[in-house]
Structure 1
Amino acid sequence: MCIGMKASQNQKVSTLALAEKLRKRLIESLGEPLELILFGSQARGDATEESDVDILVLVSKLEEKTLDLILEVAWEIGFEAGKVISVIPATFKEMKALSASPFFQAVQKEGIRI
């Protein structure tokens, strides 16, 4: 595939599998309820081979150790898959409080819940 060409349906399936792997590993590591939402070009279907994987990670409480763990696990899984995973950690409460912001509206509109 040439640079700038759109990703195939197989790449979208692969991206969803990558996001699911991240979700499972985070649940194992954190031991608490969480939700992942794939957003950006991968969710819209206009990603290229070089596109990163944008994932909003929602947790009940975001402490420094939780943030560090989310970033570490995302990096490990991305490294294993040869993809850059860009995670945005937030709490469920923040998502609700900031639901009118353009960012969260875009995530709600185009996002794919994992």
Structure 2
Amino acid sequence: MRQRLKDIGISSEQRSAIIEAKRMIEKQFPVRQLIIFGSVARGEATEESDLDLMVITEEVLTHKDRNAIYDIIFEVNYKYATNLSVVVVDAPSWESGILSLTPIFSEVQRDGVIV
């Protein structure tokens, strides 16, 4: 991971949406990291691009808890007219190597921006 939130080119609405989403998610769940990845993190975003977020939780979440995070993102997108997209993964799975064989793992490791 290479940059910080202040170093990437995003709109004030996107920045506010990310900060609010992080605050709301951390209030309800044990979050280890929130990371921006994808075209926005690489500086290749267009007007059509979504903003990819990865939420890494300290523990495995239930399906209900994952849905609660998706609902938070929906609410924030509606409030700020943004297009945040979220991937939720637990730290044990992320760090155990199971996911290290997936393209998303290398993309996040290479381009991720910690919020």
The two structures have a TM-score, normalised by structure 2, of 0.80
Task: Extract structure 1 runs of 4+ deviating beyond 6 A.
Answer: none
- Residue matched to 1:36: 34
C-alpha distance in structure 2 between counterparts of 1:91 and 1:10, whole Å: 27
SS where residue 62 of structure 1 aligns? coil
Q: Deviations over 1:49-105 (max 9, x none)?
A: 221110111112221121011100011101111122111111111211222432101
CA deviation after TM superposition for structure 1 residue 10, in Å: 5.0
Higher relative contact order (CA 8 A, sep 6+): 2
- Residue matched to 2:52: 54
C-alpha distance in structure 2 between counterparts of 1:45 and 1:28, whole Å: 30
Letter in 1 for 2:110: K
Structural mapping, 1:1-114, within 5 Å: 9=9, 11=11, 14-30=13-29, 32-59=30-57, 60-96=59-95, 97=97, 98-114=99-115
CA deviation after TM superposition for structure 1 residue 43, in Å: 0.8
How many aligned residue pairs are there? 105
Identity %: 28
Aligned partners of 1:35 and 1:57 also within 8 Å? yes
C-alpha distance in structure 2 between counterparts of 1:74 and 1:81, whole Å: 11
- Residue matched to 1:4: none
Aligned partners of 1:54 and 1:87 also within 8 Å? yes
15 and 108 in structure 1: CA distance in 2 versus 1, 3 angstrom threshold: farther
The two structures have a TM-score, normalised by structure 1, of 0.80
